[in-house]
Structures are given as structure tokens and as C-alpha cells.
Amino acid sequence: MKVLVIVAHPNIENSLVNKTWIEELKKHSDITIHDLYAEYPDEQINIENEQKLCEEHDRIIWQFPFYWYSSPPLLKKWQDEVLTHGWAYGQEGNKLHNKELILAVSTGSGQEKYQAGGRNHYSMSELLKPFQATSNLVGTTFLPAFIFNGSYTATADEIQDSAKRYADYILTADTLEKVY
Ligand SMILES: Cc1cc2nc3c(=O)[nH]c(=O)nc-3n(C[C@H](O)[C@H](O)[C@H](O)COP(=O)(O)O)c2cc1C
């Protein structure tokens, strides 16, 4: 299983969670880490390069901090430009078919805020639906997201622990559990 982690964090130097996650992932040789903001400081995405990377991997992770209930803009730009007709969708667009997609998302607010009646009103599953719809359209299997809520109040130990659970999850998540 070849795992590609596409990271979109516009301010990784000041990151606590995503930076810790990346450091943990670097210990695993079967994970390719691809940092979009580092790769494209001018935000000019090399589409061919991105498509090739995706084709070479079985499981794709989109890792990002939750910004305004969505991803930072470079990941959206990546979707707009890389998921092309004839490659990702359309009659001949089958290059991502049967691959798996996992979201890895950190949030500032705690989990209790992401529910009906909570401060943010909606659950993470509800708010992440556009990503799931995109996954459906391009034919990837959408596996449960790895979510770390509550970075504003998290301790260093909790963040470190989440990094280990994250690495373990993306290496071992099993599509079969969806069958039962
Ligand atoms: C522009 C911006 C928008 C944000 N929007 C949200 C949000 O909608 N919901 C939320 O829970 N946290 C929000 N946050 C907090 C970030 O999600 C949080 O700081 C980040 O996940 C922590 O990860 P890091 O330590 O890797 O930066 C926002 C932060 C910024 C800078």
C-alpha cells in the first residue's frame, strides 16, 4: 500500500498539530509527504507532476487545518486544476478509480462544538460533505476522516499522541469494515 499525504498548511512554521503530524509521518518509508505550500510558493501547481504522484499511490490523504469550515485555498486550487476532465472524471477519466481518499483535519474548536446545538452547529461529517462528494465523483473510496478537534486547548502530549494514531490509521485503515 503506497500512501501519498498531500499537506496544505499556509503557515507550517507556526503550526503545532500539522507540523507534529508531518514529523511523525517522516518515520515511515512507505508514506510520501507532499507539502503543497512548500512545493509551490508561487502557488503555480504543476498539474502533470501532481497527477503522476497520484497515479503512483494507492491511498491519498488530504491533510489540512480547518480554515473557515473548509481547507486552505491551495488545496481547493489543487482540486480545481489537478482533477481534470478526462483524467479524474468524464467518460475516460478513471485515473483515480479504486484508490482511497482520507481527510486528515485539525480544528481549533473542540469536538463538542461540532454538533447540533453546539457553537458550530454542524458535525465534521456534515461540513466535510463537499470533499466526500468530490471523492464520489472521481471514483475514490472515501474512508472515515482522521480528525483532531480542539487544537486551541490541546496539550503537547495530546498532539504527539494524535500523530502516532494518525500514522497508524493511514497505514492500516481497512475498507472492509464498510462492508459489515
Ligand atoms: C484563517 C483561519 C480560519 C480558521 N477557521 C477555523 C474553523 O472554521 N474552525 C475551527 O475549528 N478552527 C479554525 N481555525 C483554527 C485552525 O483550524 C487551527 O488553528 C489549526 O487546525 C491548528 O493546526 P496547526 O497547529 O497545525 O496550525 C482557523 C484558523 C485560521 C488561521
Question: How does pLDDT run along the chain (180 residues), one tens digit per residue?
Answer: 999 999 999 999 999 999 999 999 999 999 999 999 999 999 999 999 999 999 999 999 999 999 999 999 999 999 999 999 999 999 999 999 999 999 999 999 999 999 999 999 999 999 999 999 999 999 999 999 999 999 999 999 999 999 999 999 999 998 765 555
Q: How far, in Å, from the CA of 108 to the mean position of ligand 1?
A: 5
Q: How far, in Å, from the CA of 66 to the mean position of ligand 1?
A: 5
Residue 127's domain spans which residues? 3-178
Write the CB contacts of 99 (distance below 8 Å, at least 6 apart in sequence): 54, 57, 58, 59, 60, 140, 141
Q: How far, in Å, from the CA of 168 to the mean position of ligand 1?
A: 24
The amino acid that residue 114 corresponds to is Y
Which ligand 1 atom lies nearest to the CA of residue 151?
22
Probe target for ligand 1 pocket from 105, 107, 120, 160, with the most ligand atoms within 8 Å of CB: 107
Look up the CATH number of the domain holding residue 136.
3.40.50.360
Task: Please tell me the distance from the alpha carbon of residue 114 to that of residue 62, in angstroms, as a whole number.
Answer: 20
| Angle made by CA atoms 156, 67, 136, in degrees to the nearest 5 | 110
Q: What is the pTM of this model?
A: 0.97
Pocket lined around ligand 1, Cβ cut-off 6 Å: 9, 15-18, 65-69, 106-109, 151
The amino acid that residue 62 corresponds to is W
Structural domain total, the chain: 1
Write the CB contacts of 125 (distance below 8 Å, at least 6 apart in sequence): 145
